[in-house]
């Protein structure tokens, strides 16, 4: 079935009308499905995607799509701790360097993800036994070596990723939550976050440095804790430039909550990166899920709304919108939740979905 047959397109029109009423303003008309504008050409700020190095290396369809559509790329996994320092003081930059070359050749901004996270750790770190000085040395060496290697080659870093708990807005701490706590907070104390930014800045003074986390659009307590954290860092003169608002959302995400969260983040004065956007269509894990026309339309409207509200961010604070992965075929969601899902603007055959056109429309205004 052609993607935009009449029976497919009517629900989209309906969704566009509802969206219009909700916004109390006249939206730009949905572009015709033949519109060959690209995401990067439609936006006045960078539009990016998190990229798989394997697909980049082995799949020309994928690398061509990335090249055509996006002006920024984020390293999905290749710069995480387990990938870069799999054994103590043995650094592997092969995959990261491949992405740097791709970004330079295609004139893409490269956003590096991430220096410090409580996940994606190699066993030698998980099992490390040493006093606080030894832990500090491990932590500092990792940050400085990695940030120095990519000095001048990446535009920005997610320095610390997901340090705050969903339940109460406190810092993740492995002592308190063994299963999902941070090894860093446990061994280095609460101020490890500030020191991570300082070490990264010393190694690459021109890179923009971000704190990155999820759930800010639905969890007010967590949002407030993140704002308190980054504001305190900023007030202390710690080199922090921005906040990554991951935005792993679904088609039921509340528009008012997303807008309110964005406005609170804008008030920090820091740059805002919608850093990991995807919009799940099967959040209930329905094993018999069918991606119907109305669900396509709802997803398209949600992409449009997110891009639309991002246009209200002051220009100096717009770091851009990045989707987490490129197509429904390479998204982490079906694999992670073991379910059918279709969370991105391109389908597994690299064709533009209705969501692409909603996204495009939102980016334009």
How many degrees, rounded to 5, is the angle at CA 287 between CA 285 and CA 291? 80
Main-chain phi, psi angles of 197, to 5 degrees: -65, -40
Among 3, 14, 23, 120, which residue interacts with ligand 9MR (rule: CB under 6 A)? 120
Q: 246, 299, 304, 327: which one contacts ligand 9MR (CB under 6 A)?
A: 246
| Residues between 141 and 170 with contacts to ligand 9MR, criterion CB under 6 A | 161
Using a 10 angstrom Cβ sphere, with 0-12 exposed, 13-18 middle and 19 or more buried, the burial of residue 291 is: middle
Residue 23 near ligand 9MR by CB under 6 A: no
Closest separation in Å from C-beta 243 to ligand 9MR: 14
Cβ pair 304, 359 in contact under 8 A: yes
Residue 146: active-site member: no
- Mention every residue, 6+ apart, whose C-beta is less than 8 A from residue 351: 3
Residue 162 annotated to the active site:
yes
Q: How far is the CB of 21 from ligand 9MR (least distance, A)?
A: 33
Q: Do residues 187 and 137 lie in contact, with contact meaning Cβ atoms separated by under 8 Å? A: no
Give the number of residues written for the chain.
Answer: 365
Q: How far is the CB of 126 from ligand 9MR (least distance, A)?
A: 14
Residue nearest to ligand 9MR (CB): 332
- Is 77 a binder of ligand 9MR (CB under 6 A)? yes
By CB under 6 A, is residue 111 in contact with ligand 9MR?
no
Tokens of 199: 């070490």
Q: Can you tell me the distance from the alpha carbon of 39 to that of 43, in angstroms, rounded to the nearest whole number? A: 7
- Token pair, residue 173, equals 């701490």
DSSP 316: G
Token match 């279709």: residue?
A: 342
Q: Which is nearer to ligand 9MR, 204 or 276 (CB)?
A: 276
210 binding ligand 9MR? (CB under 6 A) = no
What distance lies between CA 127 and its chain's CA centroid? 29
Interaction mask 323-342, ligand 9MR, x per CB under 6 A:
---------x----------
Q: Can you tell me whether residue 321 is helix, strand or coil?
A: strand
The angle at the Cα of 139, spanning 135 to 145, to the nearest 5 degrees, equals 140
Catalytic residue among 146, 162, 202, 217: 162
**Residue whose CB is less far from ligand 9MR, 30 or 258:** 258
Nearer to ligand 9MR, 173 or 246 (CB): 246
Q: Per-residue contact track with ligand 9MR, 273 to 312, x per CB under 6 A?
A: ---x------------------------------------
Catalytic residue of the set 76, 85, 146, 276: 276
Beta carbons within 8 Å of 237's beta carbon, 6+ residues apart = none
- Closest approach of Cβ 164 to ligand 9MR, in Å? 13
Q: Looking at the annotation, which residues are catalytic?
A: 162, 276
Residues at the contact surface with ligand 9MR, assessed by CB under 6 A: 76-77, 80, 119-120, 161, 246, 276, 332
């Amino acid at each position: 079935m052609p993607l935009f047959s009449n029976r497919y397109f009517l629900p989209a029109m309906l969704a566009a009308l509802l969206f219009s009423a909700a916004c109390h303003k006249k939206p730009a008309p949905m572009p015709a499905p033949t519109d060959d504008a690209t995401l990067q050409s439609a936006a006045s700020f960078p539009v990016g995607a998190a990229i798989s190095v394997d697909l980049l290396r082995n799949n020309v369809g994928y690398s061509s799509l990335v090249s055509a559509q996006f002006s920024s790329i984020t390293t999905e996994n290749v710069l995480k701790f387990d990938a870069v320092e799999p054994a103590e003081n043995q650094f592997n930059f092969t995959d990261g360097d491949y992405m740097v070359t791709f970004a330079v050749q295609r004139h893409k901004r490269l956003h590096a993800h991430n220096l410090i996270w409580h996940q994606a750790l190699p066993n030698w770190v998980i099992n490390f036994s040493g006093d606080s000085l030894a832990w500090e040395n491990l932590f500092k060496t990792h940050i400085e070596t990695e940030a120095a290697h990519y000095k001048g080659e990446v535009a920005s870093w997610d320095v610390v990723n997901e340090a705050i708990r969903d339940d109460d807005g406190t810092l993740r701490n492995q002592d308190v939550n063994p299963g999902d706590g941070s090894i860093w907070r446990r061994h280095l104390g609460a101020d490890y976050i500030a020191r991570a930014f300082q070490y990264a800045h010393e190694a690459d003074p021109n890179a923009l440095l971000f704190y990155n986390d999820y759930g800010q659009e639905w969890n007010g307590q967590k949002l407030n804790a993140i704002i308190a954290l980054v504001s305190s860092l900023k007030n202390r003169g710690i080199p922090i430039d921005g906040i990554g608002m991951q935005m792993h959302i679904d088609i039921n995400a509340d528009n008012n909550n997303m807008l309110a969260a964005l406005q609170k983040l804008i008030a920090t004065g820091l740059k805002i990166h919608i850093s990991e956007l995807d919009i799940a269509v099967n959040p209930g894990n329905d094993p018999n899920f069918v991606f119907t026309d109305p669900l396509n339309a709802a997803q398209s409207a949600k992409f449009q709304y997110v891009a639309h509200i991002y246009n209200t961010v002051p220009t100096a604070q717009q770091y851009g919108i990045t989707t987490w992965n490129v197509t429904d075929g390479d998204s982490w969601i079906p694999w992670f939740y073991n379910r059918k899902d279709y969370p991105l603007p391109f389908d597994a055959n690299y064709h533009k979905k209705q969501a692409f056109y909603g996204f495009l429309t939102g980016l334009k205004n």
